[in-house]
């Protein structure tokens, strides 16, 4: 266990912190957070409640009111009070610093460590820093709550944080609560590509799904869903490609030109396609893709 050795960076995870402190009042949470900060900087904390109160700039009465709620988050050791999870993170940070120091000292010198092993050490160090094991410090993130919270005299419960949606959780919410489309993942993109190949076997096949192409598809999905169309469903794209297949121009039956998926997803081309601008003359007024545009 380190004593009195702080680091500028404290690993701190919002979701873990919120889950571990939901039951605490505003002042209790502020006192707990400050004590974690002081332990990170100083090492084990003093056992005397009066010294702890002075440490976080609280009066003895203020500290006595919050200490029972947070006392169980600290364990007594011969050196003082510690939060076990915070000390685990300190140990990881110390090890990370040592690894990086070893890598830096090796520099361009020839040594028994190969370039491959250096890269491996870097990957391992970065993995630890990024929190590959996203464990809580019996808490873990939220902006620092300053000691001034202790004098807030507020017993009102803290507001519930908005949950962070997972990649498959549906729509995200803007600040004005209007829904906007989620960015769909590679699995949905693969389904769209498969539908394109199935409906349009004579058009150029997709061999590389670049970042630009992914962004184009996501942009068209967002635009259509914002207009109330189900573009985040694979049926929408099957219908879209079916309309493209009916177009002699887009399918290459009229000229040497043949559309491909990248061309179809460009903003102007996509708009013209769903508006029926490339439909065969006889079918131009028959609805077709107009029904879903």
Domain ranges of the chain: 14-151, 174-292
* Tens-digit pLDDT profile for residues 236-251: 999 999 999 999 999 9
Question: Cα–Cα distance between 218 and 182 in angstroms, integer?
Answer: 9
Tell me, letter by letter, the H, E, C secondary structure of 22-40: CCCCHHHHHHHHHHHHHHH
193 by Cβ neighbours in 10 Å (0-12 / 13-18 / 19+) ranks as middle
* Tens-digit pLDDT profile for residues 24-33: 999 999 999 9
Find the length of the chain.
293
The pLDDT score that the predictor gives to residue 144 is: 42
- pLDDT confidence band for 86 (50 / 70 / 90): confident
- pLDDT confidence band for 135 (50 / 70 / 90): very low
3-state class (DSSP) for residue 141: coil
The pLDDT score that the predictor gives to residue 31 is: 94
- Residues whose CB is less than 8 angstroms from the CB of residue 279 and which lie 6 or more positions away in sequence, other chains included: 243, 246, 247, 286, 288, 289
Question: Cα–Cα distance between 134 and 233 in angstroms, integer?
Answer: 33
Question: Cα–Cα distance between 43 and 30 in angstroms, integer?
Answer: 19
Range picked from 77-91, 94-108, 115-129, 226-240 for highest mean pLDDT = 226-240
* Tens-digit pLDDT profile for residues 167-206: 333 333 333 333 444 556 889 999 999 999 999 999 999 9
Q: Could you please report the per-residue DSSP string of 90-115?
A: HHHHHHHHHHHHHHHHHTTS--SS-H
Question: Cα–Cα distance between 158 and 18 in angstroms, integer?
Answer: 10
Percent of the chain with pLDDT over 70: 66
Q: Which residue has better confidence, 86 or 290?
A: 86
- pLDDT confidence band for 210 (50 / 70 / 90): very high
Among 87-96, 222-231, 268-277, which is the least confidently predicted range? Answer: 87-96
The gap from C-alpha 38 to its chain's centroid, in whole angstroms, comes to 28
């Amino acid at each position: 266990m380190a004593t009195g050795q702080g680091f500028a960076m404290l690993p701190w995870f919002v979701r873990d912190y919120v889950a571990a402190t939901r039951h605490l009042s505003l002042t209790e949470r502020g006192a707990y957070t400050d004590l974690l900060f002081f332990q990170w900087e100083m090492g084990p904390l003093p056992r005397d409640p009066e010294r702890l109160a002075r440490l976080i700039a609280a009066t003895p009465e203020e500290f006595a009111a919050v200490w029972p709620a947070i006392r169980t988050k600290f364990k007594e050791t011969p050196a003082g009070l510690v939060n076990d999870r915070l000390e685990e993170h300190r140990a990881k940070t110390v090890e990370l610093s040592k690894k990086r120091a070893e890598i830096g000292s090796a520099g361009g010198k020839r040594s028994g460590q190969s370039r491959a092993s250096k890269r491996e050490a870097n990957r391992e160090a970065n993995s630890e820093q990024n929190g590959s094991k996203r464990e809580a410090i019996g808490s873990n993130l939220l902006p620092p709550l300053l000691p001034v919270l202790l004098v807030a005299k507020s017993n009102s419960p803290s507001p519930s944080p908005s949950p962070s949606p997972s990649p498959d959780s549906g729509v995200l919410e803007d600040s004005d609560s209007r829904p906007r489309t989620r960015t769909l993942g590679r699995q949905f993109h693969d389904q769209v590509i498969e539908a394109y190949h199935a409906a349009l076997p004579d058009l150029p096949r997709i061999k590389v799904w670049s970042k630009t192409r992914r962004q184009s598809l996501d942009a068209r999905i967002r635009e259509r869903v914002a207009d109330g169309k189900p573009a985040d469903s694979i049926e929408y794209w099957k219908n879209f490609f079916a309309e493209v297949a009916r177009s002699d121009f887009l399918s290459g039956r009229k000229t040497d030109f043949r559309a491909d998926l990248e061309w179809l997803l460009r903003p102007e081309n996509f708009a013209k396609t769903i508006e029926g601008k490339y439909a065969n003359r006889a079918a131009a007024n028959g609805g077709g893709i107009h029904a879903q545009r």
